[in-house]
Amino acid sequence: MWENLEIGLEKASQEQLKEKPSQDGLGFGAHFTDHMFLMKWDRERGWHDAKICPYHKFMLDPAAMVFHYGQAIFEGMKAYKGNKEQVYLFRPQDNIERMNVSALRLCMPRLPVEKVFKGLKALVYLDRDWIPTVPGATLYIRPTMIAVEPALGVRPSGQYYFFIIMCPVGSYYPEGFGPTKIYVTDKYARAVKGGVGDVKTSGNYAASIMAAQEAHQAGYTQVLWLDACEHKYVEEVGTSNIFFMINDELVTPPLGGSILPGITRDSVIQLARKWGLKVVEKPITIDEVIESSSNGTLSEAFGTGTAAVISPVGEFCYQNQTYVINGGQTGTLSQRLFDELQAIQSGQLEDPFKWMTRVG
């Protein structure tokens, strides 16, 4: 299927093929498949040398600009196996388009969408035996672009690598779908309007690690981020978007420049609207969340993202006070969204929005 793609194919030799890990206890991001996609860019040639090749190490100059100035962007998506061995991707073109938005913001070259899409499908098909079949386990796909020109000085690099690597990952919920405890920080900020919080660039995650570590030390799974200016408006939870069910409205913060436009977020909005729910994108303050929690109108809260799909929030801590949501249990809407999205993604349910791309 990779003829006429202008994409080279260099298959791993028998000796290069790796032993596949056991499907129980896969964890996240620990094992990588046999092949990768790699493509290079420079000012003279543009994108060139696109190929699918054995997974391998890079030799980079210590002066490669990514190491110093962090010009790096990435994506996260998944491949799923249906019950007849069909292989699916969930909204893959949206990931490629979003990566181009990130590239523009970081002054990196625009990806050739069709070529990347074809390369992605061919790579997933070639390594399809790596897609786990145990319930909830999937193949996580990580497209990445980095600046590799060996030069110091803050300016756009003149050379880039774009690559796609893939890893089989276990179920996000090995002990069953259940709520998390989150820590609301008013000490750290993730993103600010005018910054890069609305694109998937590596620096955002480097900047978030300390807050996450302190939350873990305090016994919480994730950080709930507030806006950087007033520490008042709710923005995101960990590396997920956030939703609140208050009275009969499903509320999520609007995409105002500091929030990552999640594809799962958009899918939840479309699905909930199709079910007749009222979905409102509007600013929501942490005080409103607390008030609705205290007066009983907040029935559910959950995060959305590719890794966990839906992540219900059972408890949050803000300024040394803890608040329990829905008795610390998974809410009915969270459960319904999780079940429905998972069923669509694994090809078990009809796909009314044409979200799925069949690879093989």
Sorted by sequence, the CB contacts under 8 Å of residue 298 that are 6+ apart come out as 244, 245, 246, 289, 292, 325
Angle between helices 92-105 and 263-274 (to 10 degrees): 130
The continuous run of DSSP H or E covering 314 comes out as strand 309-318
Task: For the segment 68-87, give every residue that binds ligand PLP (CB under 6 A).
Answer: 76
Q: Which of 258, 306, 330, 334 binds ligand PLP (CB under 6 A)?
A: 306
200 lines the binding site for ligand PLP (CB under 6 A): yes
Quote the least distance from Cβ 263 to ligand PLP, whole Å. Answer: 3
92 lines the binding site for ligand PLP (CB under 6 A): no
Q: How far apart are alpha carbons 196 and 204 in whole angstroms?
A: 7
Q: Which of 239, 293, 299, 330 binds ligand PLP (CB under 6 A)?
A: 239
Q: Which of 33, 264, 293, 342 binds ligand PLP (CB under 6 A)?
A: 264
Quote the least distance from Cβ 318 to ligand PLP, whole Å. Answer: 20
Q: Report DSSP state, residue 129.
A: G
Of 146, 88, 98, give the one whose Cα is nearest residue 120: 88
265 lines the binding site for ligand PLP (CB under 6 A): yes
Q: What is the largest CA-CA distance in the chain?
A: 64
Quote the least distance from Cβ 291 to ligand PLP, whole Å. Answer: 25
Q: Which of 305, 312, 331, 347 binds ligand PLP (CB under 6 A)?
A: 305
* Interface with ligand PLP: number of residues (CB under 6 A): 14
The continuous run of DSSP H or E covering 236 comes out as strand 234-237
Name the burial class of residue 335, with classes exposed (0-12), middle (13-18) and buried (19+) by CB atoms within 10 angstroms of its CB. Answer: middle
Tokens 């991707």 appear where? 89
314 lines the binding site for ligand PLP (CB under 6 A): no
Quote the least distance from Cβ 239 to ligand PLP, whole Å. Answer: 4
Quote the least distance from Cβ 224 to ligand PLP, whole Å. Answer: 12
For binding to ligand PLP (CB under 6 A), which residues are involved? 76, 200, 236, 239-241, 260, 262-265, 304-306
